[in-house]
Amino acid sequence: MEGLVDAPIREVLTGLGGIDQCVSEFIRVTHARLPDRVFHKYAPELLRDGRTEVGTPVAIQLLGSDSVQMAEHALTAYGLGARHVDLNFGCPAKTVNRHKGGCVLMREPEALHNIVKAVRTALPADARVTAKTRLGYEDRSMGVACAVAIAEAGADELVVHARSKVDGYRPPAYWEEIARIRHAVPGLSVVANGEIWTVDDYWRCRERSGCDDVMIGRGLVSRPDLALAIKASQQGLPRPEVGWEQIAGLVLQYGDHLSGFLEQRFVMGRLKQWLNYLRRGYTEAEILWSAARRCKCLTELESLLEVWSHSGNARKTSTVAEPVGMTAW
């Protein structure tokens, strides 16, 4: 989710509702001491008690392999106001793994233990330390061993993406493997992640993983009302009606936030990236895409969305389509 789930989109999505907590994009920790401005760049919420405008807490995510540096940067984040530090051991990106970051560390459970232990020891007791892993690197055989190492190091919570690095993002997600991890670390809170695109997916994931909580990434970006719909389903209520007109308004809102967050040359790239995700959940976005991808500036895209949203093409009670090309199980 690097390059899309930024502070502006966190503001937009948490404003719609249903989200209990967010995690920042990862901050890459190497051997150089990062200045405070880097933390504020990735998580400007630090200037607001670590919360979005509507009060949703945001965890600061760190990625790296040097336990000493990770601990020092976690302490810096705490000093800037973070009360939750998340450690990324799940990123499958080749460039990240090549520099010994992310999921490649799952080859070495002892290294994970050392990093988590160092961070936990460095931070005061009121700070939460959590981690995210996959089921393994080359295959799905290391999930339990890594979870045990993380639990013994004192982590408060573990999010498990139910695939290996080699699996990438190809469906299916192996939610039942998360159940094995839960049984191996009964004292650790385990959160399920991966391939949750619909409310039905959410309930199937809970059933197969045994987890009470889930983390949603691409599914929420594709269907911004998914968290709201899940909350309603938990309470036995009808799904809230969030039509395309409102979604288009969120895209415009995101563009406004981006304009104060990024250089203009990067704004269109992120907007188009989000519209591309929305194609999975909304037929209107699919129809709009061919014209939107030709827009060269924010003004052009805003005009297109405003015309579309208030024309006969936009239906306030738009039906959300099932994700295109996604496998349900």
Residue 317: inside a domain: no
Contact present, 171 and 195 (Cβ < 8 Å): yes
Q: In a 3-state reduction of DSSP, which class is residue 296? A: coil
* 81 and 230 housed in the same domain: yes
Place of tokens 């450690």: 87
How many angstroms separate the CA atoms of 9 and 271, rounded? 10
Residue 277: inside a domain: yes
* 108 and 87 housed in the same domain: yes
Active site residue 91: yes
Catalytic choice (91, 103, 205, 211): 91
Instruction: Report the CATH number at residue 304.
Output: 1.20.225.30
* 95 and 11 housed in the same domain: yes
* 127 and 179 housed in the same domain: yes
Q: In a 3-state reduction of DSSP, which class is residue 320? A: strand
Place of tokens 């969305």: 305
How many angstroms separate the CA atoms of 227 and 197, rounded? 10
* 16 and 165 housed in the same domain: yes
Contact present, 318 and 244 (Cβ < 8 Å): yes
* 123 and 271 housed in the same domain: no
* 203 and 303 housed in the same domain: no
* 290 and 211 housed in the same domain: no
Instruction: Report the CATH number at residue 57.
Output: 3.20.20.70
Residue 181: inside a domain: yes
* 202 and 248 housed in the same domain: no
Domain final position from 234, 263, 279: 234
Number of domains in the chain: 2
In the chain, % helix, strand, coil (3-state, to 5) comes to 50, 10, 40
Closest CA to 214 of 236, 195, 232, 233: 195
DSSP 174-230: -HHHHHHHHHH-TTSEEEEES---SHHHHHHHHHHH--S-EE-SHHHHH-TTHHHHH
| Residue-range definition of the domain harbouring residue 287 | 244-309
Residue 279: inside a domain: yes
Residue 138: inside a domain: yes
Residue 324: inside a domain: no
* 184 and 217 housed in the same domain: yes
Closest CA to 101 of 86, 85, 112, 116: 112
Place of tokens 């993983």: 209
Residue 2: inside a domain: no
How many angstroms separate the CA atoms of 146 and 131, rounded? 11
| pLDDT, one tens digit for every residue, the chain (329 residues) | 766 789 999 999 999 999 999 999 999 999 999 999 999 999 999 999 999 999 999 999 999 999 999 999 999 999 999 999 999 999 999 999 999 999 999 999 999 999 999 999 999 999 999 999 999 999 999 999 999 999 999 999 999 999 999 999 999 999 999 999 999 999 999 999 999 999 999 999 999 999 999 999 999 999 999 999 999 999 999 999 899 999 999 999 999 999 988 887 889 999 999 999 999 999 999 999 999 999 988 889 888 887 766 654 444 434 433 333 222 22
* 122 and 228 housed in the same domain: yes
Exposure string of 223-236, with b = 16+ CB inside 10 Å and e = fewer, is bbbbbbbbbbeeee
Closest CA to 67 of 19, 4, 129, 160: 129
* 56 and 173 housed in the same domain: yes
Query: What is the pTM assigned to this prediction?
Result: 0.91
Domain final position from 216, 234, 252: 234
Closest CA to 254 of 285, 227, 221, 286: 221
**Entry field: residues in the chain:** 329
How many angstroms separate the CA atoms of 284 and 42, rounded? 31
pLDDT of 263 reads 83
Residue 327: inside a domain: no
Give the containing element (helix H, strand E) for 297. Answer: none
